[in-house]
């Protein structure tokens, strides 16, 4: 176990040096990039906690060169976001390499199985909930960032210029509301009531980030969870490339409220600016019209077992598909690197098609 942890830390050190080298010639659009979320954007935090939700083994990372703890064959959407900003790949908060000057260009607090609600994903064991991630950000400011700034005003300016990305909420459905055998939320709340609860809780968490100094925030909508292989595998009969509408309808209730949140928060939190990233419509289009994006397989996991590769997710040393650049899904839950790249090109960019009310680029330039 110790030797495995040593290997992970060593590889993260290599990755950190490599990432800094990649971004050296750029003029960053922001001084730092701080990331909050779940396994869609976790860059390795769960490597360091006792949990079943880990991706620190091959074939995860097969196109990265080695497994990093990312739930993907390669880069995640926020990796491309960091590259777009002209910043190095953002290291995980819990990594031993996240010390000293290494933290100045941002940290990733995301944790696989985490949700907006604290109880979400608890059947996996340990995970850092969004509440916990914000506490880690608070500790980062007090213990890791303050020593680099001569006065509080400089630190406030640095935080105000930094980009905060929040990509969370999927687990509150697939690892809470939709698991009625383990969680009671679906018996207590209707779909509308549950969406209201999530938004109310998230709003309070965002206000806490604001009070810590965050000003530019990116709120990512949840994708069409009714289209992921794990959910398709549970549907009886031949689904013939359709998505599970009931699940997508639930997620849409959350997304419609999340999309309206910037309108409220931009007014109630002075000096702040929020954008909403419409991952749902973009990802749904990739599933329904894969050839439009150069993709071929929109409903089956590249690495998984059972129907749609979604009954059992990617196992250690399992042989993945060879034509990964043709697949939308890497495993039972997560997109491939090429899918993440397509999403990032349409959201972490100058494009306003899937960004509301302004583009990611415009937010960074404010």
- The set of catalytic residues is 39, 331, 334
Q: Per the structure block, which two tokens stand in for 219?
A: 């709120």
Q: In Å, how far are 4, 8, 61, 66, 321 from 1, measured between CA atoms? A: 5, 11, 19, 17, 29
**CA proximity to 195, closest of 262, 259, 251:** 251
Distance in angstroms (rounded) separating the CA atoms of residues 113 and 123? 9
**CA proximity to 112, closest of 56, 163, 181, 164:** 56
Q: What's the chain's length in residues?
A: 366
Torsion of CA 317, 320, 324, 329, to 10 degrees: -100
Dihedrals phi, psi of 313, to nearest 5 degrees: -75, 175
Which residue matches tokens 């019209």?
289
* DSSP H or E segment with residue 328: strand 327-329
Distance in angstroms (rounded) separating the CA atoms of residues 50 and 48? 7
């Amino acid at each position: 176990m110790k030797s495995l942890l040593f290997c992970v830390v060593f590889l993260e050190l290599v990755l950190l040096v490599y990432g800094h080298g990649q971004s050296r010639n750029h003029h960053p659009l922001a001084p730092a990039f701080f990331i909050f979320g779940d396994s869609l954007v976790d860059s390795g935090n769960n490597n360091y906690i006792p949990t079943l939700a880990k991706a620190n083994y091959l074939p995860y990372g097969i196109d990265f060169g080695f497994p990093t703890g990312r739930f993907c064959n390669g880069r995640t959407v926020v990796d491309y976001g960091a590259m777009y900003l002209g910043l190095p790949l953002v290291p995980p908060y819990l990594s031993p390499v996240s010390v000293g000057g290494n933290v100045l260009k941002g940290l990733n607090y995301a944790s696989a199985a985490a949700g907006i609600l604290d109880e979400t994903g608890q059947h996996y064991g340990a995970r850092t909930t969004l509440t916990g991630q914000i506490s880690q950000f608070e500790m980062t400011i007090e213990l890791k960032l303050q020593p680099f700034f001569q006065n509080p005003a400089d630190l406030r300016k640095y935080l105000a210029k930094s980009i905060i990305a929040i990509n969370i909420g999927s687990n509150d459905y697939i690892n809470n509301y939709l698991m009625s055998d383990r969680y009671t939320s679906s018996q207590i709340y209707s779909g509308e009531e549950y969406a209201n609860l999530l938004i109310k809780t998230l709003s309070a968490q965002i206000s806490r980030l604001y009070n810590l100094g965050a000003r530019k925030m990116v709120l990512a909508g949840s994708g069409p969870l009714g289209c992921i292989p794990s959910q398709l595998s549970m549907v009886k009969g031949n689904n013939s490339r359709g998505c599970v509408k009931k699940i997508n309808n639930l997620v849409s209730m959350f997304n419609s409220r999340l999309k309206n949140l910037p309108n409220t928060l931009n007014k109630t939190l002075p000096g702040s600016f929020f954008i909403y990233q419409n991952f749902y419509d973009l990802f749904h289009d990739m599933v329904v019209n894969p050839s439009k994006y150069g993709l071929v397989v929109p409903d089956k996991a590249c690495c998984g077992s059972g129907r749609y590769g979604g009954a059992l997710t990617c196992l250690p040393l399992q042989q993945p598909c060879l034509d990964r650049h043709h697949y939308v899904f890497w495993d039972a839950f997560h997109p491939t690197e090429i899918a993440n790249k397509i999403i990032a090109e349409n959201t972490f960019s100058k494009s306003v098609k899937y960004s509301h009310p302004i583009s990611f680029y415009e937010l960074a330039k404010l």
